[in-house]
């Protein structure tokens, strides 16, 4: 009976994930996956439910509590803060693995048998702990909290911790250890792995956080997989692997999109990172909102390149208003999305969708990059590195080699910027040196509002 339910749930999970990769069926996929987990959970409770009414009641209350908290958080969070929330959820899953592993040893909820089981349990805690603290650091980085600056010391600490943990695991597998030693070992591994998570995530640059979150997601999947082996639970094993595999593929796809190697991301280095900072102040040509409005009004094809700055300024609704405004005047406005714009792939798409911007006007970078010269005006809103031509022609630039949106090929580029600060990577943006580039200073939202008001008057 349980097996049949598990079989159904497994098929559901795989199918759900498959649907989640297809735009038209993604929502259904999510529901199928959720329903599959529910079915499996019900079957599991039914099969083990002989324990006692008190246990069962407690369980139901706890499940309800967790669901309530999860629902509340996910409803309250602003769409811009989505990556942070995913990071927190992932961290909690990791924490869950650590608690489970320790409880398995100290509470002797179920007896431990043999070295293989012990190793698997240690690995559960290791991966869970790294996913937990790593996700928390990633969350704080994304949320702009104050953290110690990246340093060589942190990378060194991470490496030492990793070596010690691997050594401890090998020691455990190779030499006989009694039960008393095992309790110390799992405590030590848990603490070391918690520390490792922190030192692993700290030195990695904020721009690389999407990759890190995706990787940590894969790690928590692996933790689930090992926990599944501990509890002899096939659905946990399969779910864990699916998550692990998704996480790894997504991580690699993101690296490809940024033209960074995974090892480069993990080492926390941008290629040739030193060359960039030496140069002096760039001279920026500024433009007023009035001039911008008239430029837009006389254009035929306009594109907006949004970045994290648009998300921070919450300017997506103004983007929609601008699009409507221009449409009435016969001007076509596209949105061009860089694969890693914002803090997560697809982040910008979610934000624009939230503001009701029609799907057809949102273009992927690869769709339009060879025809950029057709655009009369390109507005870059809160993006920087993803339109920096240095990525194409300056081998010394830290972002050299990253695919960019060729905004510089448009007849006129207007960059909406709050200040003359550099992009996330710290690279000098040579776009500003181009003759066809002007800067509209100010908060993106306020600037857009001004432009829209100006357009109304024309």
Per CB under 8 A, which of residues 335..354 are in contact with other proteins?
A: 337, 339, 344-347, 349-350, 352-354
Check binding of 304 to other proteins (CB under 8 A).
no
Least distance between other proteins and beta carbon 75 (Å): 7
- Those residues with Cβ within 8 angstroms of residue 407's Cβ, 6 or more apart along the chain or in another chain: 303, 305, 372, 378, 380, 387, 413, 431
Interaction residues for other proteins, span 369-408 (CB under 8 A): none
SS3 333: strand
Check binding of 83 to other proteins (CB under 8 A).
yes
Contact region for other proteins (CB under 8 A) — 50-58, 165-173, 268-276, 368-376? 50-58
Q: Number of residues in contact with other proteins, rule: CB under 8 A?
A: 122
Q: Which of 81, 9, 43 is nearest to 342 (CA)?
A: 81
Check binding of 332 to other proteins (CB under 8 A).
no
Half-sphere exposure of 27 (CA within 13 A, CB side): 1
Closer to other proteins by Cβ: residue 205 or 247:
247
Q: 193, 198, 204, 225: which one contacts other proteins (CB under 8 A)?
A: 225
Least distance between other proteins and beta carbon 114 (Å): 9
Q: 52, 176, 180, 330: which one contacts other proteins (CB under 8 A)?
A: 52
Check binding of 73 to other proteins (CB under 8 A).
yes
Q: 185, 186, 194, 238: which one contacts other proteins (CB under 8 A)?
A: 238
Check binding of 232 to other proteins (CB under 8 A).
yes
Q: Which of 136, 147, 121, 250 is nearest to 196 (CA)?
A: 136
Beta-carbon count within 10 A of 176 CB: 7
Contact region for other proteins (CB under 8 A) — 144-152, 355-363, 382-390, 430-438? 355-363
**Structure token digits, residue 433:** 């040196």
How far apart CA 167 and CA 189 sit, in angstroms, is 11
Stated as kind and residue range, the H or E segment containing 416 is strand 412-417
Interaction residues for other proteins, span 90-119 (CB under 8 A): 90, 92-93, 95-97, 99-100, 102-104, 106-110, 116
Contact region for other proteins (CB under 8 A) — 36-44, 275-283, 290-298, 446-454? 36-44
Q: 148, 158, 174, 235: which one contacts other proteins (CB under 8 A)?
A: 235
Closer to other proteins by Cβ: residue 286 or 366:
366
Check binding of 443 to other proteins (CB under 8 A).
no
Closer to other proteins by Cβ: residue 210 or 442:
210
Distance of CA 129 to the CA centre of its chain: 19
Check binding of 51 to other proteins (CB under 8 A).
yes
- Decide if 401 contacts 391 (C-beta within 8 A): yes
How far apart CA 147 and CA 155 sit, in angstroms, is 15
Half-sphere exposure of 320 (CA within 13 A, CB side): 14
Closer to other proteins by Cβ: residue 260 or 347:
347
Q: Which of 28, 35, 45, 47 is nearest to 10 (CA)?
A: 35
Least distance between other proteins and beta carbon 334 (Å): 14
Least distance between other proteins and beta carbon 279 (Å): 32
- Output the CA–CA distances (angstroms, integers) from residue 139 to 84, 135, 201, in the order listed: 5, 6, 10
Closer to other proteins by Cβ: residue 59 or 284:
59
Interaction residues for other proteins, span 184-213 (CB under 8 A): 213
User: Any idea which residue has 């864990």 for tokens?
Assistant: 240
User: Any idea which residue has 């100290």 for tokens?
Assistant: 106
Interaction residues for other proteins, span 260-299 (CB under 8 A): none
With 0-12 / 13-18 / 19 or more C-beta atoms within 10 angstroms meaning exposed / middle / buried, residue 97 is buried
How far apart CA 3 and CA 165 sit, in angstroms, is 36
- Decide if 117 contacts 230 (C-beta within 8 A): yes
Query: Which member of 233, 385, 394, 396 is catalytic?
Result: 385
Closer to other proteins by Cβ: residue 7 or 267:
7
User: Any idea which residue has 């455990």 for tokens?
Assistant: 172
Q: 244, 268, 306, 309: which one contacts other proteins (CB under 8 A)?
A: 244
How far apart CA 286 and CA 182 sit, in angstroms, is 66
- Structure letter (DSSP) for residue 149: P
With 0-12 / 13-18 / 19 or more C-beta atoms within 10 angstroms meaning exposed / middle / buried, residue 309 is buried
Contact region for other proteins (CB under 8 A) — 234-242, 273-281, 283-291, 393-401? 234-242
Q: 118, 134, 239, 309: which one contacts other proteins (CB under 8 A)?
A: 239
Query: What is the C-alpha end-to-end distance of the chain, expressed in Å?
Result: 71
Check binding of 229 to other proteins (CB under 8 A).
yes
Binding mask 2-31 for other proteins (x = CB under 8 A): xx--x------xx-xxx-xxxx--xx-xxx
- Residue 208 appears among annotated catalytic residues: no
The β-bridge relationship of strands 412-417 and 437-441 is parallel
Check binding of 329 to other proteins (CB under 8 A).
no
Closer to other proteins by Cβ: residue 32 or 415:
32
Question: Among all residues, which ones are annotated catalytic?
Answer: 385
């Amino acid at each position: 009976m349980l097996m049949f339910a598990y079989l159904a749930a497994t098929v559901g999970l795989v199918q759900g994930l498959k649907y989640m990769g297809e735009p038209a069926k993604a929502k259904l996929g999510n529901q199928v996956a959720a329903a599959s987990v529910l079915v499996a959970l019900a079957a599991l409770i039914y099969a083990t439910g002989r324990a006692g009414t008190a246990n069962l009641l407690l369980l139901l209350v706890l499940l309800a509590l967790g669901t309530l908290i999860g629902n509340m958080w996910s409803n309250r969070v602003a769409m811009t803060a989505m990556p942070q929330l995913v990071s927190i959820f992932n961290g909690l899953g990791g924490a869950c693995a650590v608690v489970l592993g320790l409880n398995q040893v100290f509470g002797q909820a179920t007896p431990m048998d043999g070295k293989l089981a012990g190793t698997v349990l240690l690995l559960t805690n290791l991966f869970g702990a790294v996913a937990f603290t790593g996700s928390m650091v990633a969350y704080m980085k994304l949320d702009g909290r104050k953290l110690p600056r990246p340093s060589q010391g942190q990378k060194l600490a991470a490496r030492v911790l990793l070596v010690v943990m691997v050594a401890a695991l090998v020691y455990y597998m190779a030499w006989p250890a009694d039960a008393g030693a095992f309790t110390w070992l799992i405590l030590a591994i848990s603490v070391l792995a918690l520390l490792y998570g922190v030192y692993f995530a700290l030195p990695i640059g904020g721009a690389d956080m999407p990759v890190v979150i995706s990787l940590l997601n894969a790690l928590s999947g692996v933790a689930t997989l090992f926990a599944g082996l501990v509890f002899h639970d096939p659905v946990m094993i399969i779910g864990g692997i699916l998550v692990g595999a998704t996480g790894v593929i997504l991580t690699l796809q993101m690296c490809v999109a940024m033209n960074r190697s995974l090892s480069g991301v993990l080492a926390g280095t941008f290629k040739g990172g030193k060359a960039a900072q030496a140069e002096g102040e760039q001279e920026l040509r500024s433009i007023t909102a009035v001039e911008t409005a008239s430029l837009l009004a006389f254009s035929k094809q306009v594109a907006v390149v949004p970045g994290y700055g648009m998300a921070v300024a919450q300017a997506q609704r103004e983007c929609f208003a601008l699009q409507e405004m221009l449409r009435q005047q016969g001007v076509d406005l596209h949105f061009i999305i860089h694969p890693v714009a914002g803090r997560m792939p697809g982040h910008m798409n979610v934000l624009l969708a939230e503001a009701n911007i029609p799907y057809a006007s949102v273009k992927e970078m690869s769709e339009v990059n060879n025809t950029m010269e057709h655009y009369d005006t390109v507005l870059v809103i809160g993006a920087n590195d993803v339109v920096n031509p240095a990525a194409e022609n300056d081998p010394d630039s830290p972002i050299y080699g990253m695919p960019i949106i060729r905004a510089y090929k448009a007849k006129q580029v207007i960059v909406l910027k709050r200040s003359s600060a550099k992009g996330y990577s710290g690279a000098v943006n040579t776009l500003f040196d181009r003759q066809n580039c002007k800067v509209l200073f100010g908060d993106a939202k306020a600037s857009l509002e001004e432009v829209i008001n100006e357009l109304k008057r024309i």
